[in-house]
Every structure is written in C-alpha cells, then in structure tokens.
Amino acid sequence: MLLLEVIYSRQHRPDDDLSVRYYARMLFREIQRDVVLLPMFREYMQRPVQHLNVPEAFYLMSLWMVPEQTDNRESNLHTCYSKIAGLVLDELRGRLPEHPAAAWTTCKKNPFGPTMWTDDQTLKLLNAMNVVLYDQLALMKEGRTGGRIGFRTEHAAGMLGVNLHNVQLPHSSMICWHKADGEEYLFIDVVRRGMRLSWEQVTEELNADHPEVDLQMLEPFPRAGLLRRLINGAVHPDARRPGTGFDLISLETLACWARSDCRPNTAAIVDLMSTMARARPMYTRRLLQQFVETNGSLVAENERRGLEALMKHFKRMYKRLVRSLDEQEAEVQELADLRAAGRAVGDYRRQFGVGDVVTYGDGCLAVVYGCSPYYEISQDWTANSRVCSGLQRGHKQPFYSLLLEGDRFGYMAEEELQLSPDPQPISHQEVGRFFTRFDGERYAPIAPLAIRFPEPLCEHETKANFVESSTDGSDSEWEDDVGDEEDDRRPSPPTVWMGVWPAMLPEDSDDEDTDG
C-alpha cells in the first residue's frame, strides 16, 4: 500500500516526482507479480477444463500488464457488470417472479462457473437481459462494437449464473451457449439485438458471406491453453502496446511458467534460468534452491551437485552485478568531484541539453535524454547504410537520444531538431527513468544524468583546462565560463545521489571467493 500511495499520491502534481513514482511503480509491479499474481495464474491453469472461463483469462492478463491499476480497474469493471446484472434481476422480478434468480438479493460476485439453470430458465433470463441491454441501456445506439457488447453480455450473464462462450471466429459478433440437454449450441448475435441462431442458421449465413471460412471457427474458444495463448501473444513486442523493458522480461518469465502450467518442474526451471539469470540472478537462485528442497528425493546425486554449483554461480553473478553498480556510482562521483573543482571533463559544443523538449518532422515533440558528439556507429557501417547521407552536416555533428511520444525511442542528428516553442510534457512510460520533474519549460534530469551531460556550452565561453575523462575516454576539450554571469534559463544540476545498494540476505552469503 505504501508504494501505491507513492504512485497515486494526491500530494504529487502530474509532472512532479517522476523518478520516484517510476521506480515505485517498477518495484510494485515486480512484487505484485511474484507474490500475488503468479499464484493466481497457477491456480487458474491447474483447474479442470470445465472450470476455466474466458473473461477470467483476459482479466488475469490485464492484471499482469498493469498490476498497479488492479483495484481501480477491477472496481470500475465490477461496477459496470454489477449494474447490468442488477437491472436484469429487477426485470426478472417484475416479469417472471417465479424464476429462481428473481429470489436473489444480489448477483454473483464473479462471472465464473457453470450454468446454474435449466435450458428453459436460461432462455428466460437471456430474454430479460436483451430487454436491459438493448431497450433500457440502448447499447447499439452508442456506436459500440460487437466485441465490447459481447464481453459485457458474457460477463454480466456469468454473474447471473449463465456461462456463455466466445467463438473462435475473429471479429465475430457471436457468442454461444451450450445447452444442458445434449451437445447443441445456441448462438447469440449481440449486434442484432441478441438474436438467437441455430448451428444450421449460422453456417448458412457464414457460407453465403465467407465460403472459404473453416466452420470449426464457430466452435467455442478452447479454454484449455487459452491463457498460454494470450501470454505467448503478449510476449512479442508491439509498438501499440505500452510497456517497459522490465515489463517485457516479466512477460517472458510468465511465458516460461505457463509452459508448465506454473508448476516448478525441471522444464520450467531450465526456461527461467535462461530468461532471468542475467537480470535477476538471486531470484533465479532462490527458485533453484526451492526446487532442490522440494524435489530432493527425486534428484540424482550428480544432478544435485550440478544444481548446487549453479546456485553458487548465480550468487557470484549477483555480487559482480552489485560491484558493477558500485563502480558506476564511483565514476559519477569522480566526475562530480572534477566539476566541483572547476575542471571540466570531455564536453563538446552542442545546441540542446538533456531535458530539453524539442520538435522534429512535422512538429512532433520529443525530450532529450542523452547525446554524443557524433554518430556512434563505426564509419564503415555508417557509409554502407547511408543513414547520414541526407544530412547536410553528415555524421560529424551531435546526435541526441530521444524519448518520443507513444513510448518510442529515437536517435537523431542536431540539424533535424528544433527547440520547442511551446514545451509540453511527453507521454512516455520511461520518462521517470531519466527525469525528476517537468517545470513547464524543460525536464530536470536525475542527478547522475545531469552530471554526465552538463548544460551546453555557450558561444562566449572560452577553452580552459583539459582533463581526460576516466568515465568515457573522451579527448574532447572543456571550456570554463567567462565571468560570473549565470544562465537564468537553465536550472543548475542537482547534487549527485550516492545511494547504498541492497545488501545480500544472510542466507545468500558465504566465505567463497566471489570470482571463483
């Protein structure tokens, strides 16, 4: 709850504390997925097929994609579906008081489970639902798509004890209901005000419009393996789907679990080690340790020794990772000390600074989060690819790393950019990774970024002391300010933050040489 208070605190303005809220969100997502959501996926995937439900599968995936919105999202959806189901119960009480559902004081809390009624009782309940959806709520007059109405119908019907199914046919407005008597399906066309069609009627219409379509596509969407299909589809990067690199790793991790129905068996452990070892070595080690403790009697002695060697290897990987982070902090601190002593390091003339909001193309907005003195690719590759052939100044000009609208990244030459005359906040999920706030004119970079990329040199500045940077190996020259005048347009960089990296847990430490 503390992390959610940071993410959604009313004390924050939308453009303040970007970095704090970004990392709070990342931390909350990792904890929520590991501790809360993974057990929910495991419970769902290990149920009998008859107890699986399509809306629940989609709902679980929505929770995994945006864990921090679980409470708000669930509350809004539940309110919508409960309202529809409540109106249907009112309709039943008025028209069919003898129906068993009319005696309910409220609808089910969730839409999952088999149909509770006889075929005749189900048809009467669906009649009442049609009255509510198409007469009282007039959904078809609001321009909604068949898919959205179908999902509402399916979900609300589930809360009233009727189990409806999606069909496999893409972009279909059909949902179907499996009658209790026999193997017959009844099809419901949500676009045509809930019209009911038999198998023969549906196939006749489908053959007339799309004779090449496989009629098997009219079968209910297979519940067994549905969640795995959704997960595998989400793993592939999609520019239209928001998410960070951390989110993609989490989806790959979930895909590994899904291949074994979230059971920690040998195949799952092997997949998880190949996916997560570099990014989360200690998490991988603990999974491996749990596997050994759980399956100790089934693991051969030579396999056990091999697994124990792997656990030690992951421990060494973690220590090297921590040491690498400490070295990066030391480099930033060294650079900060040089700046504090008035000795400039490795800067070069450029027009834009980190945090500037710029425009490119037809006025599209972007924000600078990094820069280099020239195109940072080998000259041979640059010549062969001709990526700089259309630039008047060629590749020997500053290039900028950019956050673009729509969660995209860019790398553009200085001549392609202009300082935005009307700076606006950028819509990008990674903005808090690089910046602390937006002051209405530009973004304030986090402390290490501000130190690595000082503000651009002005034209009146002159050359001064040259110091070779140990952080980037640059042999460029620095220039000191002339006079005591300050640039009022740009705030000074904040003091570097020297955080303490998390220590290992007691059970993770040993007396071995960390490098072997």
Across 418-437, average pLDDT:
91
Residue 178 to residue 162: CA distance in whole angstroms: 10
DSSP 105: S
In this predicted model, what pLDDT tens digit does every residue of 252-269 receive, in sequence order? 888 888 888 888 888 888
Q: Does pLDDT of 367 surpass 90?
A: yes
**Which tokens sit at 178?**
């499996």
Nearest to 314 by CA among 347, 342, 276: 276
Q: What is the pLDDT of residue 10?
A: 64
Q: What length does the chain have?
A: 516
Q: How confident is the model at residue 79 (pLDDT cuts 50, 70, 90)?
A: confident
Q: How many CB atoms lie within 10 A of CB 13?
A: 9
Q: What is the pLDDT of residue 245?
A: 72
Please give, one letter per residue, the 3-state secondary structure of 311-372.
HHHHHHHHHHHHHHHHHHHHHHHHHHHHHHCCCCECCCCCCCCCCCEEEECCCEEEEEEEEE
Of 11-15, 328-332, 465-469, 482-486, where does mean pLDDT reach its minimum? Answer: 465-469
Nearest to 438 by CA among 420, 425, 454, 451: 425
Residue in the block written with tokens 């088999």: 114
Q: How confident is the model at residue 148 (pLDDT cuts 50, 70, 90)?
A: low
Q: What is the pLDDT of residue 458?
A: 53
Nearest to 504 by CA among 310, 314, 221: 314
CA angle 223, 224, 227 (to 5 degrees): 75
Higher confidence at residue 506 or residue 396? 396
Residue 75 to residue 80: CA distance in whole angstroms: 9
Q: What is the pLDDT of residue 384?
A: 54
Q: Does pLDDT of 142 surpass 60?
A: no
Query: Element (H or E) spanning 186, and its range?
Result: strand 185-189
Q: Does pLDDT of 237 surpass 80?
A: no
Mean pLDDT, the chain, integer: 77
Of 119-123, 384-388, 396-400, where does mean pLDDT reach its minimum? Answer: 384-388
Across 19-40, average pLDDT:
89
Q: Does pLDDT of 466 surpass 80?
A: no
Q: Where are the alpha helices (DSSP H) in 112-244?
A: 119-130, 146-159, 199-209, 226-235
Residue 435 to residue 438: CA distance in whole angstroms: 8
Residue 33 to residue 42: CA distance in whole angstroms: 12
Beta pairing partners, 463: 479
Q: What is the pLDDT of residue 247?
A: 80
Q: How many CB atoms lie within 10 A of CB 111?
A: 25
Residue 215 to residue 429: CA distance in whole angstroms: 42
Q: Does pLDDT of 92 surpass 90?
A: yes
Beta pairing partners, 357: 367
Q: What is the pLDDT of residue 63?
A: 87
Q: Does pLDDT of 441 surpass 80?
A: yes
Give φ, ψ of 253 to 5 degrees.
-65, -45
Q: How confident is the model at residue 393 (pLDDT cuts 50, 70, 90)?
A: confident
Of 144-153, 163-172, 404-413, where does mean pLDDT reach its minimum? Answer: 144-153
Q: What is the pLDDT of residue 11?
A: 61
Q: What is the pLDDT of residue 338?
A: 78
Q: What is the pLDDT of residue 298?
A: 81
Reported pTM: 0.65
